[in-house]
Amino acid sequence: MKKVAIVGGTGYTGVELLRLLARHPEVEVCAITSRSEAGRAVADIYPSLRGEYDLAFTKPTTQTLAQADLVFFATPNGVAMKQAPDLLELGCKVIDLAADFRIQDVSVWSNWYGMEHACPELLDEAVYGLPEVNKASIIGADLVANPGCYPTAVQLGLLPLIEQGLIDTQYLVADCKSGVSGAGRGEAVGSLLCEAGDSFKAYGVAGHRHLPEIKERLCVANDGAVGMTFVPHLVPMIRGIHATMYARLKASEHSLDFVQGLFERRYKDHPFVDVMPIDSHPETRSVRGSNMCRIALHQPQGEDTLVILSAIDNLVKGAAGQAIHNMNLMLGLKETAGLNIVPLAP
């Protein structure tokens, strides 16, 4: 039985890790930390976990965390980079669910996150944890940067086209919508029911922190620069991301049937990507609570613009589920262990 610890267990991502790991056949949670709730039982804060864990929150000391084979950081940006070096030195593997290790260019990271990086020397060692791209590297990794939720949905929708050189990579558009849980559990006026309910708005249009992550990873696939307009929106629901991508096909002979076949071949060995039949419309409720990404392709009026629809649960495939997928690969466990979850309906 492998032991894991979770730093930052009181947020939505932390409790989602606990929910999923409660039924994992080969993993035991040995520590769950929170500075503000140290000493309180997990079930006192999350009654949904009553009977699942006989654990209380503790302070995140290196001594406590070093008992684990792997440590998840479900913490705000800037936390993992301060503790990861010591844990790696002690032989613990680390998965950061925040952004500390996602961007390789430290100057770009500092510009977007407004702080100096505490361990830039680890950026080259960190593996970007998108299993559909970096599975082989994740298997041998000690430090994994779990992708952001928007970047996961967008990359899975665009990568097959970029890898095969089928689209004009200078004119990419990602029009994305997220549920309110993407803002986290912290107190914020914009996340209040009376503020977010019965409303719909764009935000971060001039620049969003996930844009440099998306562009950097697409540039790797493209072996060169890409041009992207990324506009996130907040919708009045709790969970889910729906990304609509627009890309211009380079050649008219690339029919929708051809592109559909390309996507099906690209993801046939990846258990958490479902390429739906042509002209399907994936819904966020069709992935709710699961680690699945559902993708569908459209070519309106048969013209040269391809529309790619991608739907994920932002807390699972966009965060905790993907982290567990990475954990399974890093610890030599069955890839799908703990993640064979049927989405909730209704």
User: Does the structural domain 150-314 have CATH classification 3.30.360.10?
Assistant: yes
Cα distance between residue 294 and residue 276, in whole Å: 7
pLDDT attached to residue 9: 87
Element (H, E) at 109: helix 106-113
Decide: pTM greater than 0.75.
Answer: yes
149 flagged as catalytic = yes
Backbone angles phi, psi at 212, to 5 degrees: -65, -30
Residue 287, SS3 per DSSP: coil
Task: State the angle between helix axes of 210-222 and 149-163 in degrees (0 to 180), rounded to the nearest 10.
Answer: 20
Task: State the angle between helix axes of 131-139 and 321-330 in degrees (0 to 180), rounded to the nearest 10.
Answer: 30
Query: What pLDDT band is residue 196 in, cutting at 50, 70 and 90?
Result: confident
Give the mean pLDDT of the chain.
Answer: 95
Architecture of the domain defined by 2-125: 3-Layer(aba) Sandwich (3.40)
User: How are beta strands 143-145 and 127-128 bridged, if at all?
Assistant: parallel
**Strand pairing partners for 241?**
178, 312
List % helix, strand, coil for the chain (3-state, nearest 5): 35, 20, 45
**Residue 12 neighbours by CB under 8 Å, 6+ apart:** 181, 184, 185, 315
Q: From residue 224, give the alpha-carbon distance in Å to each of 126, 213, 217, 295.
A: 21, 15, 10, 25
Cα distance between residue 246 and residue 237, in whole Å: 24
Residue 124: burial class (beta carbons within 10 Å; 0-12, 13-18, 19+): exposed
Unique residue bearing structure tokens 């000690």: 142
Pseudo-torsion of CA 41, 45, 51, 53, nearest 10°? -50
Nearest to residue 102, comparing CAs of 213, 222, 214, 228? Answer: 213
pLDDT attached to residue 186: 74
DSSP string, 159-206: HHHHHTT-B-TTSEEEEEEE-GGGG-SS--GGGSHHHHTT--EE--TT
On the question of a common fold for 2-125 and 150-314, the answer reads no
Cα distance between residue 271 and residue 336, in whole Å: 8
CB 229 within 8 A of CB 174: yes
Residue 187 has pLDDT above 80, yes or no: no
Nearest to residue 314, comparing CAs of 205, 152, 75? Answer: 152
Ordered by start, the domain boundaries in the chain are 2-125, 150-314
pLDDT attached to residue 86: 97
**pLDDT, average across residues 166-185:** 93
**pLDDT, average across residues 68-91:** 97
**pLDDT tens figures, 231-278:** 999 999 999 999 999 999 998 777 999 999 999 999 999 999 999 999
Residue 190 has pLDDT above 90, yes or no: no
Unique residue bearing structure tokens 């993992």: 80
pLDDT attached to residue 219: 97
Catalytic-labelled residue, pool 149, 176, 194, 293: 149
**pLDDT tens figures, 282-333:** 999 999 999 999 999 999 998 999 999 999 999 999 999 999 999 999 999 9
**pLDDT tens figures, 197-217:** 899 999 999 999 999 999 999
